Amino acid sequence: MRCGPSVTPKDIDLQALRDKYAQERDKRLRKDGTAQYIHTGGGEDPDFWENDPHMPPVVRDPIVDDVEVVVIGGGFAGLLAGAHLKKAGVDDVRIIEMGGDFGGVWYWNRYPGIQCDNESYCYIPLLEELNYMPSKRFPDGVEIYQHCRNIGTHFGLYEGALFGTMIRAIRWNEATQRWTITTNHDDELRARYVVMATGPWSKPKLPGIAGLHSFKGHAFHSARWDYDYTGGNTTDTTLDKLADKRVAVIGTGATAIQIVPYLGRYARHLTVFQRTPSAVDARRNPPTDPEWAASLKPGWQKERQANFHAFASDPFPSIPATEDISCDFFTEVGRNVSARINGHANLSTDDLAAIREEEDYGVMERIRRRVDDIVEDPATAEALKPYYRYMCKRPCSSNDYLETFNRSNVTLVDVSGSKGVERVTEKGLIANDQEHEVDCIIFASGFEISAQDQKVASGIEAIDGRDGLSLYDHWRDGFRTLHGMTSHGFPGMFFTGYTQGGGNASVTANYVQQGEHIAYIIAEARVRGATTVEPTVEAQDDWVRTVHELAPPNTFLEQCTPGYYNNEGGGNGGIRAAIGERYAAGFYAFDKLLDDWRNEGQMVGMRLIK
């Protein structure tokens, strides 16, 4: 299918909408920003993080061992680092994972209705290498979880993996030139290299509502779904035990959009507490066409990711709109912008920005009018309309979410004033001066994605490099890395994620890129007889300067409604982009930079310690 620009309303008053967006943002801004949340783990609310509803606790003796590479985290980031290490001939790899198996977010998040949100042909990594084709465009979570396990099997990563194991501390030992890693099982692993692959979505957070612990009913976080309580299981979404239960959901982000239709169908009553509505489009989720799959040529997945990235992430895609392969809500604004600008070579920066803004407002207006078409009660419909710019929050799609609010057993409670839900009581929640009695509260309140404090985000008590330098202190005033992957004072330690690297619209493409680069460095260091490697302080500082010099102003994020994309509107910490800083030249420029760096062969900026 060739995909052209979408049809969006043209009868909109831009200035009136700009004012409305600003008003809606201001009413949600809070001084406490990210500090509003209640943390889980580290002695605070361990049930919401550390307890595993999917597997019994692991009981085993402590392990004391030397190992070449320890990878912390067995989600996609860790699996892809492990896979590339194995491919590079580094065999002695131990993945340590707190869950009972590989999978990361796909291990933990097993709530009813969980599916991939980014099209799977881009998102699910190593499809060609594992000769696997997803069953549909947005497959169910169990399928992706299985793919994670298949990666583990394919690359021999189960060997040596430690599941049900939480890291306590990681400390550099100058005498042995190794890292000592301690865990909740009293293990002591001495690793030459450590790859941090804990992922930004791994640690649930709870809403900062007074009295949260006074509730006497049942409560759990969406990432720790309690099927014993709700009925059903990961493959059967019949939540029959909720038939006599009044259920509250806090949060209306990407997770809630997937959960709410099931709760609406099965609970005696469902009350959804909404602070900010998501933008929800229709979901086109056809099964994979076998003929299309058979027609694909080697290298197709990388090409598709590049195409998706161009429309989903580039503000002004330089390819014709009709080439948008995924043709999705994620790519709609980019596609419409591309249709306007292609063939017009001399547009000024202001012209481009104006076109982008118009297309953005048009798409969001289409989404708001869609709410009116679906939701019967006008007041509920109005509350469900998102008044902010596209990509201030994650775009969502569902064919059942908005429809759920037409059910007689479902109530939407708008808590959009900055105080949100006012209080949790023994019996339920108080909002807008009214108590809502419920039997169960489900927190779809997200993850510590933009926590200011790295220790909170990682949940690891200490990461101490040379001379006892704490990584948390080292990065307190800003990340300091070479290429986002290494840091001076932390020899042989590697980082993955969005920090000071490229940033692809398919997060797993970042992990592939980083896995490949990290594996190259470790394999090369071994070939060259090094004990470990470390970036020089000059190379690190140069890279930080480059990232900062290229960084665009935060104007867009400043104008956004609060959320994790703009660290909750800033609060006292000021606005910064979610999940660290990006190398603003873009993912593919960064990819080339890394490729050139490796081809040059000198490991420029990296000290090999012998």
Among residues 416, 376, 183, 408, the alpha carbon closest in space to that of 278 is found at 416
Binders of ligand NDP among residues 204 to 223 (CB under 6 A) are 207-209
Please count the other Cβ atoms lying within 10 Å of the Cβ belonging to residue 556. Answer: 18
Among 199, 253, 570, 580, indicate the residue that binds ligand NDP (CB under 6 A).
253
Q: Do 479 and 485 form a contact (C-beta atoms < 8 A)?
A: no
Stretch that binds ligand NDP, among 19-27, 71-79, 225-233, 441-449 (CB under 6 A): 441-449
Q: State the minimum distance, in angstroms, from the CB of residue 560 to ligand NDP.
A: 11
Q: Across the strands, what pairs with 269?
A: 246
The rounded Cα 512 to chain-centroid distance in angstroms is 16
Q: State the minimum distance, in angstroms, from the CB of residue 68 to ligand NDP.
A: 33
The CA-based dihedral angle spanning residues 24, 28, 31, 34, taken in that order and rounded to the nearest 10 degrees: -120
Based on CB atoms, which residue is closest to ligand NDP, 252 or 514? 252
Based on CB atoms, which residue is closest to ligand NDP, 535 or 569? 569
Among 90, 93, 181, 256, indicate the residue that binds ligand NDP (CB under 6 A).
256
Binders of ligand NDP among residues 562 to 581 (CB under 6 A) are 562-564
Residue 189, interface with ligand NDP (CB under 6 A)?
Answer: no
Residue 446, interface with ligand NDP (CB under 6 A)?
Answer: yes
The rounded Cα 118 to chain-centroid distance in angstroms is 11
Residue 252, interface with ligand NDP (CB under 6 A)?
Answer: yes
Stretch that binds ligand NDP, among 159-167, 339-347, 545-553, 561-569 (CB under 6 A): 561-569
Cα distances (Å, whole numbers) of residue 506 to 330, 407, 437, 469, 496 = 11, 35, 41, 34, 14
Residues 6+ apart with CB under 8 A from 95: 70, 71, 73, 74, 78, 79, 82, 102, 157, 160, 161, 162
Residue 139, interface with ligand NDP (CB under 6 A)?
Answer: no
Please count the other Cβ atoms lying within 10 Å of the Cβ belonging to residue 404. Answer: 22
Residue 254, interface with ligand NDP (CB under 6 A)?
Answer: yes
Q: State the minimum distance, in angstroms, from the CB of residue 96 to ligand NDP.
A: 23
Amino acid occupying residue 80 = L
Among 255, 510, 513, 566, indicate the residue that binds ligand NDP (CB under 6 A).
255
Q: Do 308 and 326 form a contact (C-beta atoms < 8 A)?
A: yes
The residue count for binding ligand NDP (CB under 6 A) is: 31
Residue 445, interface with ligand NDP (CB under 6 A)?
Answer: yes
Based on CB atoms, which residue is closest to ligand NDP, 258 or 305? 258
Based on CB atoms, which residue is closest to ligand NDP, 415 or 460? 415
Based on CB atoms, which residue is closest to ligand NDP, 445 or 500? 445
Among 415, 471, 525, 533, indicate the residue that binds ligand NDP (CB under 6 A).
415
Q: State the minimum distance, in angstroms, from the CB of residue 537 to ligand NDP.
A: 34
Q: What is the DSSP string of 288-311?
A: PPHHHHHHPPTTHHHHHHHHHHHH
Structure token digits, residue 596 = 């050139």
Distance CA 146, CA 142 (A): 6
Residue 505, interface with ligand NDP (CB under 6 A)?
Answer: no
Based on CB atoms, which residue is closest to ligand NDP, 276 or 487? 276
Based on CB atoms, which residue is closest to ligand NDP, 134 or 253? 253
Q: Nearest 5 degrees, angle CA 114-CA 120-CA 126?
A: 120
Among residues 30, 72, 336, 63, the alpha carbon closest in space to that of 195 is found at 72
Cα distances (Å, whole numbers) of residue 227 to 53, 222, 231 = 9, 11, 5
Structure token digits, residue 92 = 């002695």
Among 275, 283, 309, 483, indicate the residue that binds ligand NDP (CB under 6 A).
275
Question: 348 — phi, psi (to 5°)?
Answer: -80, 170
Q: State the minimum distance, in angstroms, from the CB of residue 444 to ligand NDP.
A: 5
What is the dihedral sign for C-alpha 210, 214, 218, 219? positive
Stretch that binds ligand NDP, among 187-195, 201-209, 586-594, 599-607 (CB under 6 A): 201-209
Stretch that binds ligand NDP, among 71-79, 91-99, 114-122, 599-607 (CB under 6 A): 114-122
Residue 273, interface with ligand NDP (CB under 6 A)?
Answer: yes
Residue 511, interface with ligand NDP (CB under 6 A)?
Answer: no
Tokens 């791994």 belong to residue: 202
Residue 251, interface with ligand NDP (CB under 6 A)?
Answer: yes
Where does this chain bind ligand NDP (CB under 6 A)?
28, 115-118, 201, 207-209, 250-256, 258, 273, 275-276, 394, 415, 420-421, 444-447, 562-564
